[in-house]
Structure 1
């Protein structure tokens, strides 16, 4: 019932708003001017033509082809390219992401129940609807971009990995890379932590089997000949009814370690002890990674087109921006008196370590902002993005402003790590931070769309909040969504792409 409720809620606002958007903005908008003509070439059966301005692989186009073919099977079956091409309108192609948004909501619901089954379906449904309302994700539900489908593929990969369906997970991982190349980092993140969890599972399983064998040997030695048969049946019932206690696996994964080094060493030793089982289970991820490396080598880089505008750059300021954006987007978790007190209490409890950590974080943040803060030409030229106004009206309003924001950046990251550390191991938290860095730091363009996947992962692993806070955040998201929609549809001016250039004119 929870899945149906989430899908119905997302459809209830997505379908009418998609119709409204298509009626007011019927022509391709922003990056749609590249994506829609490209997929329309595919609809005509032309799979050899490729727009050199497109940077991502054609995964979304394949989804749209399957989607349109499912709606009009007759045109597809008759192989009439002209007839099939007529169905690939801007409105119909955009509706692909409405379906993907519904899938994202259902996947978030299932992931929450898988990660923390104690929350119940009602709470999982509320959180899934909240994620569907997240403004950046919500806005691109109505445009033909890769973001919504990319999130759906990554969430499906994560859910399959948690359920130990590793071949299915790797297949979703491969397809997520076809949607956006940087998703390879999330595949590695899920696979690495899945391998550690699988090794812990095998370790607990081995311990339980060893205890059962000891119990069997001891019991059999005390059984007399006349009741040997009944005792053997009793032992079999005990073994079948008590395979691997789930609490033992959870306790093993949440075990407290005296130091970070002990935790790493324990994970390495368990992986080594179960190396062949883990290798066999996770070989599909390795196969996908090998193919991806071969593609990078053949392509000469990670992006397909417009390589001069997407040069890999050491943009370390991206990490700081992500921390603040995520903390603001998840206000009830991070900017509350209880969370401030929690961090203050941690600082008082570990004065030497916390003081050293804060000084290092402040120093690295100032260094990153001064030497590795990039103003991409797209950021400065296009006023159809929130980042355009934030950059001009906040960060660039005074030369000191970007440095004044450093304490807030540092607080945001300390709050994120503090909250994740309450439910996840330090290895998991470190691997998450590294994955975020490897996805964002090489990107020269500041774009909030790139933050959506790690932000959703944060939601999945953040503690539950009260219904009141959840409802308040939902109303805040809805207000921002409404403001964004009004500005998008009814503002008194339009930007149009100047043919043959990367400029936008009045």
Structure 2
């Protein structure tokens, strides 16, 4: 109990020092935020207590981590286990934590440190989501303060619930009961991202903070360099070259008569130091290609300013490169089993991973795909009557993408010896019953990789964040004619004379405002960073996918049901407001994560097994 209370006091002090926005969300009662935090803290503490009660001794990688931390607690700072591959940041901070607690570095205290860190991760995730959405809201104008107040409240609920679901993310939450580096590593990277999102006010101090926290994150895990330097450096470039009127290009495209004139306009903007960057919601394939093409001239035009703003990220990369040179490699120990190798299928495995854990948020995109498949015959018939080049181009690109995936699978599939040697990890069974089951299965999975990627991209673009319903079918007759000659109610309009009209309620319009679509630059930078962080690792582990999932989840627009689908067409204003506060997709995501945590936690604690060569020693399943 004393440990539980100490954790609460520690979190309260950190929240005060950090001025955490999780306790100051606009339009939201603080009690809701406090209850959410206490709920996660209670679940994580309960999980850690059960793990320590049933598994009191160090388990798996804890065999290396815990003795090293305990050596530091004793003051033996020169002791180092050569099997450890990551720097000692976790052990140093845990030692300080135990000193504050005036307790020995027992297995319980060391594990409990991750329980507390999970709550700090929740806070930083809330800060990041709030800053991401707020940056969009500042560009949104409302006719009255009532709409602005509704937006503030809806945004706050979405922000808190999103952060809550990130904290409950199964591969992250699981390690709140064990002494691993994953939670602290994620926490530190989110701290850097929060600092980045806060802007360049007082940029000298901000640059120092980014560099400082970046170095701290590297003491947790070396691969954090990709997120602390490459991802945020790329986002800094995009922010520096941002067009002050990003929506103009989208509307202008409709006015220009040719692709050539549109491209020429974008090129002229690039020559003035502005990159072409459009929201994914309205972006076409040409837009995605045009973004990096306009980046090069825009960077050259504003190179001095770019280098100035990139100072903390370039400093991080330089320091990291020097440390690698002095160490003779990226990992500290066990270098023979951790050799960097080009492993392209890692980026393919990521999309089913994200699709599984984010399935509730991908449901609208999945339903949209099913509707498209059902209407494919009629769509094909319309195309044969009025052929256009775009479907042909998209078909060719899809076929080319499938061919590339098949070539990657054939020539670059790597099965690390550790994957097959340890049946305590779920990934062992994933490989055993898929890729290793039959030689053809790895090729049959290629369309699934592409399907999962499309679902994730479509959801990220916000293409299905709201669903509109047809409200009426007005005549195509001009309004002026309607006034002079009112239509006969008994006369039914012909099918070809009608057009379905869609509308959204004010509440749904607010939902669109609170869910900004990420831009094409974010998507490209995210893909590049994710690829760099994954394809150099020969070993496939769900833990490697934590940061790619977290960053994607922070930027995912939240899908919303139209109120009529939930409440009916005769819903009252009070019912409509209630539906705005309760997002069904976020609730399903919460239940989804809780169920996975419950199942994996139960299996870990109560469904152990033993190896013939180690009779009497319980082995346990884990991520």
Which TM-score applies when normalising by structure 2? 0.66
Deviation, 1:25, is 0.6
- SS class of match (2:100): helix
Deviation, 1:414, is 2.5
Deviation, 1:315, is 1.4
Deviation, 1:137, is 0.7
- Deviation per CA, 1:3-45: give whole Å up to 9, x if none: 5344322212111221111111110011000011111111122
Alignment root-mean-square deviation, CA = 2.9
Q: Which residue of 2 aligns with 1:101?
A: 118
CA distance in 2, matches of 1:131, 1:4: 17
1:340 to 362, 369, 375: 369
Alignment of 1:462-473 (within 5 A): 462-466=556-560, 467-473=583-589
Q: Which residue of 1 aligns with 2:519?
A: 425
Q: Which residue of 2 aligns with 1:50?
A: 80
Change (3 A) 1:497 1:334: farther
Q: Which residue of 1 aligns with 2:490?
A: none
- Deviation per CA, 1:278-322: give whole Å up to 9, x if none: 333331221121110011112222111111111111211111111
Change (3 A) 1:320 1:342: farther
> 2:55 aligned with 1:17, yes or no?
no
> 2:550 aligned with 1:456, yes or no?
yes
Gaps of 5+ in 1: 73-85, 205-248, 499-503
CA distance in 2, matches of 1:55, 1:495: 26
Deviation, 1:195, is 2.6
CA distance in 2, matches of 1:127, 1:279: 34
Deviation, 1:397, is 2.2
Q: Is the 8 A contact 2:277 2:291 kept in 1?
A: no
- Deviation per CA, 1:473-492: give whole Å up to 9, x if none: 21121111111111111124
Deviation, 1:178, is 1.2
Q: Which residue of 2 aligns with 1:485?
A: 601
Change (3 A) 1:405 1:28: same
Deviation, 1:354, is 1.8
Q: Which residue of 2 aligns with 1:190?
A: 232
Range moving further from structure 2, 56-65 or 415-424? 415-424
Deviation, 1:170, is 2.4
Structure ranking higher in helix proportion: 1
> 2:167 aligned with 1:167, yes or no?
no
Change (3 A) 1:123 1:318: same
Change (3 A) 1:342 1:319: farther
Alignment of 1:136-155 (within 5 A): 136-155=171-190
Alignment of 1:293-332 (within 5 A): 293-332=321-360
1:61 to 91, 96, 115: 91
1:114 to 131, 144, 159: 131
Change (3 A) 1:455 1:49: same
Deviation, 1:266, is 4.1
Q: Is the 8 A contact 2:609 2:620 kept in 1?
A: no
Q: Is the 8 A contact 1:315 1:373 kept in 2?
A: yes
Change (3 A) 1:491 1:176: same
Range moving further from structure 2, 113-122 or 316-325? 113-122
> 2:418 aligned with 1:382, yes or no?
no
Change (3 A) 1:352 1:424: farther
CA distance in 2, matches of 1:26, 1:150: 24
> 2:310 aligned with 1:282, yes or no?
yes
Q: Which residue of 1 aligns with 2:104?
A: 87
- Deviation per CA, 1:394-443: give whole Å up to 9, x if none: 33222222211111101112333334345233232122112111111111
Q: Is the 8 A contact 2:352 2:449 kept in 1?
A: yes
CA distance in 1, matches of 2:439, 2:308: 55
- Deviation per CA, 1:132-178: give whole Å up to 9, x if none: 11111111111111100111111111111111233322222221111
Change (3 A) 1:265 1:493: closer
> 2:391 aligned with 1:361, yes or no?
no
- SS class of match (1:383): coil
CA distance in 2, matches of 1:34, 1:497: 21
Q: Which residue of 1 aligns with 2:538?
A: 444
Alignment of 1:172-183 (within 5 A): 172-183=213-224
Q: Is the 8 A contact 1:343 1:418 kept in 2?
A: no
Change (3 A) 1:129 1:403: same
Change (3 A) 1:261 1:324: closer
- Deviation per CA, 1:209-232: give whole Å up to 9, x if none: xxxxxxxxxxxxxxxxxxxxxxxx
Q: Which residue of 2 aligns with 1:229?
A: none
Which TM-score applies when normalising by structure 1? 0.80
CA distance in 2, matches of 1:141, 1:31: 14
> 2:448 aligned with 1:408, yes or no?
yes
How many aligned positions are there?
A: 442
Q: Which residue of 2 aligns with 1:219?
A: none
Deviation, 1:393, is 2.3
Deviation, 1:193, is 1.1
- Deviation per CA, 1:105-138: give whole Å up to 9, x if none: 1111111111113552112111111111111111
Q: Is the 8 A contact 1:495 1:505 kept in 2?
A: no
Change (3 A) 1:378 1:267: same
Q: Is the 8 A contact 1:197 1:253 kept in 2?
A: no
Deviation, 1:264, is 3.0
- SS class of match (1:395): coil
Change (3 A) 1:315 1:256: closer
Gaps of 5+ in 2: 1-22, 26-32, 138-153, 200-205, 246-273, 463-516, 561-582
Q: Is the 8 A contact 1:332 1:465 kept in 2?
A: no
Range moving further from structure 2, 347-356 or 167-176? 347-356
Deviation, 1:88, is 0.7
Deviation, 1:263, is 2.8
Q: Is the 8 A contact 1:130 1:474 kept in 2?
A: yes
